[in-house]
Structure 1
Amino acid sequence: MKKLGFDSFTKKIYIKTTLEKLYWCWGTADGIASWFLRNAEYISDSGSVRVPGEFIQEGDSYTWMWHNWDTAEKGKVMAANGKDSIAWSFAGDCKVEVNMYQKGDAVLLELIQSNIPTDDKNKLDIHYGCSNGWTFWLANLKAYLEHGVLLNETEVDLRNEPLAGYEFVNM
């Protein structure tokens, strides 16, 4: 059995979709904004902005904007094989990997967030916060792909709720 700790976590979910559709949902600005973000922008190594439907590449930088958050997440694409695996820097020096495995009529999606600092602040903000967040967002992705519905809050502005990120399950 794998040892659990505060420096990483793994989330898994089966989604009834194709590998190609699921990779599009993670690997393009249009795809990731369809279920996860308000806006996503990817910039290639050469400095050109990728068009919204274009697949991301290793070395790209990104800027992500969420619904109900004023801050932007910025980072680098660390890997993108165009088929079933993507990795990027996230939440400072953390790494997020998404691996997809075809299993009959479903795809097993595995998300691993690693390199999490283990001081008390990061245990709360990154391990607890991101682990809870990814649990919701993976369920949101499943609802979107299997049933055509989004569960995240886009109509009520939660930015003035001091603990919204910790208390609302659909941020």
Structure 2
Amino acid sequence: MTEKKELILETALKLFAEQGFDTTPTSKIARLAGVSEGLIFRHFGTKEGLMKAVVELGESRIGRHLTGIEQEGNHRQRIHKIIELAYVLFQEEREFWQLQFTIKWQRKYTHAHTSPHYLRLMQLGMESFRALGYAEPEKEIQLLAMLVEGFGSMMIKQPDAATLENMLTFIKSKY
């Protein structure tokens, strides 16, 4: 990826997360990235294409963490790593996750829960719950996903590290 394309994506991510997709004009992205608006359209076609590229970039970053979770042989530790993933990703990619939480209710972006990484995490969690003898592993992973999603909302609203770490420890203690 070229340096300018990466700069456009990072600038778009920041502005979409702070101001929203619909209220951020491509002209502002271009101005803050120091590129022409035409370059944005040349690289991404449309503003929606730019948003798609931002989401794909974030997805690829999630993939880096999957290997460690997949390789974890201790099923309880694997579940803990799944829980911790939200916190780790939020620390690394706050703007991306802020954007995810702002667009998740928009119908055109509801594909987030069908992403390959999300589906793989759900599968790994279900396998671990099954291996640990939980009666309904499918429901356990769904419950855990709801807890982690709520934790994600909390991270956006209350970025106090001590409170977040205490809640993370508490959630992990349930498993």
TM-score normalised according to structure 2 size: 0.29
Structure showing the higher strand proportion among its residues: 1
Structure 1 or 2, whichever has the larger Rg, is 2
Quick check: which one's helix share is greater?
Answer: 2
TM-score of the aligned structures, taking structure 1 as reference length = 0.29
